[in-house]
Amino acid sequence: MGRGRAPCCEKIGLKKGPWTPSEDMRLMAYIQKYGHGNWRALPKQAGLLRCGKSCRLRWINYLRPDIKRGNFTPEEEETIIKLHGLLGNKWSKIASRLPGRTDNEIKNVWNTHLKKRLLSKEADPSSEETKETSSSFSSSAGSTLSSCNQSEGTIKDEGAAPAEPGFNLESPHEVSNKTEDRMEFQDSSMELIEIPFEPNLQDLWDVLEDHDQSPPSPSSELVISSSTAEQPKPKPSLSSSSSFSSTTSTSTSALNIQHAQCKEEQGEQSEVMLEIPNEANSDVWDMLDDDLGCLESSKSTVLEAQQNEATEGFGQECKRQSHEYFKQSWITDLEYELQISPQEGDHLLSVTKDIAADQAEPGFPSYDGTLDFELFDPIVAYFQNQPPSPTLFS
DNA sequence: AAGAGCATCAACCGCATGCGT
DNA sequence: CACGCATGCGGTTGATGCTCT
């Protein structure tokens, strides 16, 4: 074959322009079932008359479940301005620090709003807003800036996913005198989540839900500890100081769970430590990203449903069930990943295993290259496997 | 009410980069 | 090392909706 770049896709016969709902559903269904190992082959296998690039873009910018829709908050805009000052037009880098936002979206916001706003501020430097912006590296930057500075090194680290701005793990459950500890943790790239001890992780969901948080940096160390201060008795389902490794196919040794303290007499503090070494297998972070991304997705779904309550056809009960579904799925998945309470019959678990089994096959995907839509309609399968998301279909 | 101008954002294009052979 | 390929990234475009006159 001659030198030079191959065309990104076959132009002939492929569709361009806006995506139809049917195409969206087909793409979502396919990715949900098989993932997106090969974008170039994906459209053919999914029965889409699109090039792989277009599919990838559509997924990343619009269909991905953890996309945060809606207007940018002032905090997000501040963050973009600051990061743009640091990084320039590195939209993907900026996007990586704004959970749920895409580089395309940020680029658009910058070009349509923020750039003009900054220009107008330059023209009128006496305005109040200008003061705020120009002091973006002073105290007004708040947690966002501290996060930026804190992870300055990871910005330059191309390989590592940087810490997220606003990754504030101060928990309502956290004991009061954690200030010094927290500073220590920050210095040693360690974050702390404290949760009421519950072996089935129900409360972990609730606590994480209270944090408007993002996955931590891979360069940091995550510690999830639990407090039983309000519990009549600790429930040490994990043996004291027990430590075991995840044996999932994707993460082998990086995940250690230690039931470090079980002060049954005092009933004061019992901890489940989830320690991930700095050099942890990146798969662990993928797993946590997925889990927390799922949480974020579910949260935004519920928020969206709440916002649309008056006008949309999703009733209160539907929304509640959707929320409960995601909550339970997330918890079950995490329990499985942590090997705390694997449930063989669980739907999500079986789906995950199906996908994992498919992906374990050499030359994944293991089917013959095209889907038989008469036997397997991905659209039907999608709605059988997952409740419709108001976020996606609004 | 109609049309011109503007704003927004999804999508495209082409180059850069990284990886496997 | 050279090459081919897949994917990522950033600039740009064009369709659509909104606002103003």
* Residue A14 pLDDT: 82
Separation of A18 CA and B2 C1' (Å): 28
What's the CA gap between A277 and A256, in Å, rounded?
Answer: 9
- A155 CA, B5 C1': Å apart: 41
Q: What's the burial of A268, exposed, middle or buried (CB within 10 Å: 0-12/13-18/19+)?
A: middle
Using the structure, give the distance in angstroms from the CA atom of A285 to the C1' atom of B11, rounded to a whole number: 31
- CB of A108 under 7 A from strand B? yes
Can you list the alpha helix ranges (DSSP code H) found in chain A? 21-34, 42-46, 52-58, 74-87, 91-96, 103-109, 115-123, 128-134, 142-150, 152-156, 179-187, 202-210, 282-307, 316-338, 347-360, 378-385, 390-393
Residue A61 CB in 7 A reach of strand B: yes
pLDDT of res. A124: 66
Closest residue to C9 measured CA to C1′: A92
Is the CB of residue A113 inside 7 Å of nucleic acid strand B?
yes
**Closest listed residue to residue A83, CA positions, set A57, A103, A63:** A103
Helix A316-338 and helix A202-210, axial crossing angle in degrees, nearest 10: 110
- Identify whether the C-beta of residue A355 lies closer than 8 Å to the C-beta of residue A33: yes
Q: Whose CA is nearest the C1' atom of nucleotide B7?
A: A112
- Confidence (pLDDT) at A123: 67
Residues above pLDDT 90, as percent of chain A:
1
Per-residue pLDDT of chain A (394 residues; tens, 9 = 90+): 323 333 444 455 788 888 988 898 889 888 888 888 788 888 888 888 888 889 988 998 888 888 887 888 888 888 898 888 888 888 988 988 888 898 898 998 898 888 888 877 766 665 444 333 333 322 233 333 333 333 333 333 333 333 333 333 222 232 233 322 222 223 223 333 333 333 333 433 443 343 333 333 333 323 333 333 333 333 322 222 222 222 222 222 222 222 323 333 333 333 333 333 333 333 333 333 343 444 444 444 444 444 443 333 333 444 444 444 444 544 444 444 333 343 333 333 333 333 333 333 333 333 333 344 333 444 444 444 443 333 333 2
Nearest protein residue to B13's C1' (by CA)?
A8
**Which of A95, A102, A98 lies closest to A56, judged by CA?**
A102
- Residue A73 burial (C-beta neighbours within 10 Å; 0-12, 13-18, 19+): exposed
pLDDT digits (tens, 9 = 90+) for A251-268: 222 222 223 233 333 333
Chain B footprint positions (protein CB, under 7 Å): 7-18
CA of A142 to C1' of B8 (A): 30
Q: Is the CB of A109 under 7 A from strand B?
A: yes
pLDDT at res. A276: 33
- The distance (Å) linking the CA of A94 with the C1' of B3 is 40
CA-to-C1' span, A112 to B4 (A): 21
- Could you tell me which residues come within 8 angstroms of residue A51 by beta carbon, excluding any fewer than 6 positions away? A8, A9, A10, A11, A14, A43
